[in-house]
Structure 1
Amino acid sequence: MGRLFGTDGVRGVANADLTAELALGLSVAAAHVLGEVGTFEGHRPVAVVGRDPRASGEFLEAAVVAGLASAGVDVQLVGVLPTPAVAHLTGALGADLGVMLSASHNAMPDNGIKFFARGGHKLADELEDRIESVYEEHRTGAPWQRPTGSGVGRVTTYDQGLDQYVAHLLGVLPNRLDGLKIVLDEAHGAAARVSPEAFARAGAEIITIGAKPDGLNINDGCGSTHLGLLKAAVVEHGADFGVAHDGDADRCLAVDHTGAEVDGDQILAVLALAMREHGTLRSDTVVATVMSNLGFKIAMEREGLAFVQTAVGDRYVLESMKEHGFALGGEQSGHVIILDHATTGDGTLTGLLLAARVAETGRSLAELAGVMERLPQVLINVPDVDKSRVSTSAELTAAVAEAERELGETGRVLLRSSGTEPLVRVMVEAADIEQARSVAGRLADVVKSALG
C-alpha cells in the first residue's frame, strides 16, 4: 500500500479513492493511535469534526463520526467551517483531536481528511505513519478493540463554533477597517459565512462573490486558484483591494485596486514589516518554502530580516517555526501562519491583518506590496506521470543540470512531485520571462518523456 497521507492529510476522489470505509477505518485507527501515545491521558476522549461544503462531505462526515464514536470518542460536530476554525476550536474546546473533511483547493469531486492533535496541531509524520499501519493491520483482519454499552462515544452538535471563531479573529486585529471597501471571493467554500461576517464586524464595506456554496460549486472558476472574477470585481466596484480564499480557507491571496495579483510572498513581506514595527516578529525572521520567489529573499535581506527556507508544505513551515520560536511563515500559494494566533494557515486571519495594515498606514495595497519585486517565474504542472521517480530519473537529473547551467546565477529550477495531486510541478525562475518559459517548457517535455 502506498502512503495514504500526503503533505496535507489524505485526499482522493470521494467515493472512489476516499471511500466511507476508508474514512471510518482511518478514524478508528487515529483514535487508537492517539490513545496509545497518551494523548487522551486516561480520560474519555473528545473530537471536534468539521467539513467544507462539498456534497461528499456529508457521507464522509457520517463515516468519520461512526468510526470515532465506535472507538469510544465523544464527537462535537461543528458543521461547515474553515480548516483553521476547526483547528482553533479543537484547542479552544480542550478536545483531544480534530478532524477536518476537505480537499482544500482541489476540484469538487475530490475530498480529504485532516487530523489535528490536542491543541489543534497537525499530526507529526510518525503519527500519520502509525495511523496508516494500524488501519492496514485491521483492514487485513486484526480485530478492533470495541467498547460497548456506555463506553461508546456520544455525538452532539456544537452550534457556537462560527461566533466563537469570528470573535477570536476580531480579538487579534490591531485596528479597525473602517473606510475600506473590500471584495471577498469565498470560493463557494467553507468561509462563505465566516469571512464576510468577520470583515463586516471589523468595519469594512464588503462585496462578496463566490459565497453561495451548493455542495457542487466549490473552487469552480473562483477563489484563490481562479482570480479572474475577483480582479474584475475589484475594478468594477472601485474597491481598495480584494481577498480570495480557497475551499477550506486556509489560504489567502489578494488583488490590489488595479486588479494586479498580490501573492503569498508579497503578503508575507507586508506582514513581516508590520510585525517588526509592532515588535511581534520574533528574531526578525520569516519562514518560507523553496517555492518562494527569489524576489522575496532579496526584499527580506534588503530590509534586514532573516529568511529561513523549508520543504514545500505549510506543515514543514510550521515545524520550523515551532522548533525555533519564529512567529511568521508561509507559502507563495497563500498559506500564511501567524503562530501567536493560529496553529495552521488561516486565510481569513491573513486577509484581516493585511487589511488592518492598509487601514493603519493609509497606503494602498499596491504600494505596500511593492516592497518586493517578483522575478519572472513559470510553473507548469505535468499530469499523468510517475511522480515517484522525480528524484531517481537520470534523464531528468541531466536535464535539470543543463537548465541550471543555462540560467546561471540569475535563476533557478525546482522540480517536485505534488503532495496533494497526481502530478509533477516544474518551476523555473529567470531574469527574463521568455527564458523562464523556454526552460520550463523544455523541462516539462522531459518530465513527460522520462516519467510518462
Structure 2
Amino acid sequence: MTLFGTSGIRGPVGETVTADLALSLGRALGVDCDRVVVGRDPRASGEFLRSALVAGLCESGTDVIDVGVAATPTVGRAVGWRDADAGVSVTASHNPPADNGLKLWQPSGQAFDSDGQERIEARIAEGAFEPAAWDESGSVETWDARARHAEVVRADLDRESMDSRVVVDVGNGAGGVTVDILTSLGCHVETLNAQPDGAFPGRPSEPKAENCTSLSTLVAESDADIGIAHDGDADRMRAVADDGTYLTGDVTLALFARAAAEPGQRVAVPVDTSLAVADYLAEVDVGVEYTPVGDVYVAEAAEAPDVAFGGEPSGAWIWPDHTLCPDGPLAAATIAALNADRPLADRIAEVPTYPIRRDSVEVEDKESVMERVRERVLADYDDVTTLDGVRVDLGDAWFLLRASGTQQLVRVTAEARDEGRADEVLSTARDCLAPARE
C-alpha cells in the first residue's frame, strides 16, 4: 500500500481520502505521539475528516491542539511552538475542491520524511495500534495560532515598517494571516477572494499565471506596488510586479535565493529547475544542490549547514534558519520587503530566461520504462543525476525524463540557452525514451 505522494496524502474525497482513513491515520500517529497539532483548510470535507482524525488520536491517548481553519505553515510551525510531537494539516493544498488530504509535520517544521511515512503506512495496513484505557483518552484544546504566526513572521523579517500598497489574493483559502502580517508592517492592503470557501469560487486554488489574471490586472491598473497570491492552504506564494507582470517560479526562486545566500553557500532546488537559476546565482558564487521534486526533499537538503534557502518553482519557499516548512506568508512578507527596497520589475530584468520545452509521453508501465531509460542514459552520458527520474547535464543545456506521479506518463523536459539548442535537446531526450517504450 502506498498512501503518501510527494506532498502527503491527497485525492478525491470518498475515494482515496475518507473518514475511515483519517481515523486510521490518527490511531497510527497516536502510537508514539503524546501531543499533536491539527488544522485544516476551508474545504467542507475538512470538518468531518478533522473529526475522524481527532477521534483516532484521542482514542490512542494523544492530546490534540486544534488550531481550526489555518494555513498549513501555521500548523507546521505550531508543532514546535507548542512542544508537540507532530502536526497534521487536513488539506489538498492547490488541488480542486473535490479533493482533500492529510499532510504530516515534524517539530522542526519539516514534513514527515520517507521513513516516517512508511512507518505510518505500515501501521495502517497492519492495524498496529491499541486504544488507550477508558480513563486515559486524549483531550482536545483549541488554540488560535494565527496571531502567533503573524508575530513570528514579523520577527523573522526583522523590519520596522513598509509603506507599500499590496494586493493579496487569498484565493478563498486559509492565508488571511498574510494580510495580518503586511498590515502590521504598515502596508496598505487590498484583498481579493478573502472569504474562506473550500469551493474556491473566486478562482481555482492553484495560483498559476492563468488563474491570477484578476490580480495582475488590478495591480497594473491601480497604484499598488506588488500583488501576492496564495493557494488554498497558503503553503504556496506567487507574486505580481507593479506593472502587472506575473513572476515565474524560476525567477522568484532566483530572487529569493540570491537575497538569502552568501558567497560560498548553496540553495536547494528540484531537478526540474531552470538553468537560469544556477546561472544567476553563479554570478555571486552561490551554488545549487539538486533534489527530487517535492518540498519534503527540498527541506531535507536545506538541513545542511551551508544551504541558506530552498525552493520549488511551483511556489514553495523554505528559509531553514526560520522553519523547514514552506511558509507562504513568510514568503509574501519577504518579497514585499524586497520590492520595497527595490522594485521587482527592476530585479526580474536581471534574471536570465531561457527557452524550455516540455512533453508528456504515454507508456504502459512507467516504472519498467524508466528503468530501461536509466540504464541507457547512464551508459551514454557522463553527467547524469538519478535523484528523481533521469537528468542529464550537457553543460550548455539539460534534459529530464521523469515518471508522472499519478499517470502512466513519462514527462520530458529540455532547456538550453537558445531556441534551436532547446529543440535539439528535446529531440535527444525523446530519442532516449523511444527504445525504452518498445
Q: Please classify the TM superposition score into its range, dividing by the shorter chain length.
A: 0.7 to 0.9
Partner of 1:165: 149
Partner of 2:344: 365
> Contact 2:75/2:89 (CA < 8 Å) preserved in 1?
yes
Shift in CA distance, 447/247, structure 1 to aligned 2, threshold 3 Å = farther
**Which structure has more helix as a fraction of its residues?**
1
Shift in CA distance, 134/223, structure 1 to aligned 2, threshold 3 Å = closer
Determine if the alignment matches structure 1 residue 87 to structure 2 residue 86: no
| SS of 2:280 mapped into structure 1 | helix
After superposition, what is the alpha-carbon deviation per residue over 1:186-213, rounded to whole angstroms, capped at 9, x for unaligned?
221121x211111111111222112223
Distance 1:113 1:50 in 2: 10
> Contact 1:105/1:219 (CA < 8 Å) preserved in 2?
no
Distance 2:361 2:53 in 1: 33
Task: Return 245-254 or 206-215, whichever deviates more.
Answer: 206-215
Q: Give the AA of the match of 1:31.
A: G
Shift in CA distance, 22/299, structure 1 to aligned 2, threshold 3 Å = same
Distance 2:202 2:403 in 1: 22
Give the drift of 1:341: 1.2
TM-score (norm 1): 0.84
Q: Give the AA of the match of 1:372.
A: V
Partner of 1:308: 289
| SS of 2:370 mapped into structure 1 | coil
After superposition, what is the alpha-carbon deviation per residue over 1:392-451, rounded to whole angstroms, capped at 9, x for unaligned?
3569978xx89x9xx965432223234477865332223345875797699799989988
Partner of 2:178: 195
Distance 2:109 2:236 in 1: 17
For residue 198 of structure 2, the aligned residue among 199, 209, 215 is 215
Shift in CA distance, 107/445, structure 1 to aligned 2, threshold 3 Å = farther
Distance 2:6 2:78 in 1: 22
Partner of 1:249: 234
Partner of 1:118: 107
Partner of 2:387: none
Partner of 2:168: 184
Distance 2:430 2:190 in 1: 39
| SS of 2:234 mapped into structure 1 | coil
Shift in CA distance, 420/446, structure 1 to aligned 2, threshold 3 Å = same
Give the drift of 1:355: 1.1
> Contact 2:153/2:181 (CA < 8 Å) preserved in 1?
yes
Distance 2:214 2:317 in 1: 23
Shift in CA distance, 319/199, structure 1 to aligned 2, threshold 3 Å = same
Determine if the alignment matches structure 1 residue 426 to structure 2 residue 412: yes
Partner of 1:152: 137
Distance 1:238 1:384 in 2: 50
Q: Give the AA of the match of 2:355.
A: P
Q: Percent identity?
A: 35
Written as runs of structure 1 = structure 2, the 5 A alignment for 1:53-452 is: 53-138=42-127, 144-158=129-143, 160-191=144-175, 193-217=176-200, 220-221=203-204, 223-225=206-208, 226-276=211-261, 281=262, 283-359=264-340, 361=341, 363-380=342-359, 387-389=366-368, 391-392=370-371, 409-419=395-405, 424-433=410-419, 436=422
Give the drift of 1:176: 4.3
Distance 2:355 2:330 in 1: 29
After superposition, what is the alpha-carbon deviation per residue over 1:339-395, rounded to whole angstroms, capped at 9, x for unaligned?
111221111101111111222x3x210112233212122445678975544513569
Distance 1:369 1:385 in 2: 42
> Contact 2:369/2:436 (CA < 8 Å) preserved in 1?
no
Give the drift of 1:164: 0.9
Distance 1:326 1:131 in 2: 29
Distance 2:92 2:6 in 1: 12
TM-score (norm 2): 0.87
Distance 1:429 1:97 in 2: 40
Equivalent pairs counted in the alignment come to 426
Partner of 2:6: 7
After superposition, what is the alpha-carbon deviation per residue over 1:145-180, rounded to whole angstroms, capped at 9, x for unaligned?
21122211112211x211111111111123245331
Q: Give the AA of the match of 2:301.
A: S
> Contact 1:14/1:56 (CA < 8 Å) preserved in 2?
yes
| SS of 1:207 mapped into structure 2 | strand
Give the drift of 1:182: 1.6
Unaligned runs of 5+ in 1: none
Shift in CA distance, 379/111, structure 1 to aligned 2, threshold 3 Å = farther
| SS of 2:162 mapped into structure 1 | coil
Q: Give the AA of the match of 1:15.
A: G
Indicate the RMSD between aligned Cα atoms, in angstroms: 3.2
Shift in CA distance, 422/343, structure 1 to aligned 2, threshold 3 Å = farther
Give the drift of 1:60: 0.8
Task: Return 207-216 or 15-24, whichever deviates more.
Answer: 207-216
Give the drift of 1:269: 2.6
Task: Return 419-428 or 104-113, whichever deviates more.
Answer: 419-428
| SS of 2:196 mapped into structure 1 | coil
Give the drift of 1:11: 1.1
| SS of 1:261 mapped into structure 2 | coil
Distance 2:61 2:374 in 1: 52
Distance 2:74 2:54 in 1: 18
Q: Give the AA of the match of 1:66.
A: A
Distance 1:260 1:199 in 2: 21
Distance 1:199 1:332 in 2: 23
Shift in CA distance, 373/86, structure 1 to aligned 2, threshold 3 Å = same
Unaligned runs of 5+ in 2: 382-389
Shift in CA distance, 205/414, structure 1 to aligned 2, threshold 3 Å = same
| SS of 2:37 mapped into structure 1 | strand
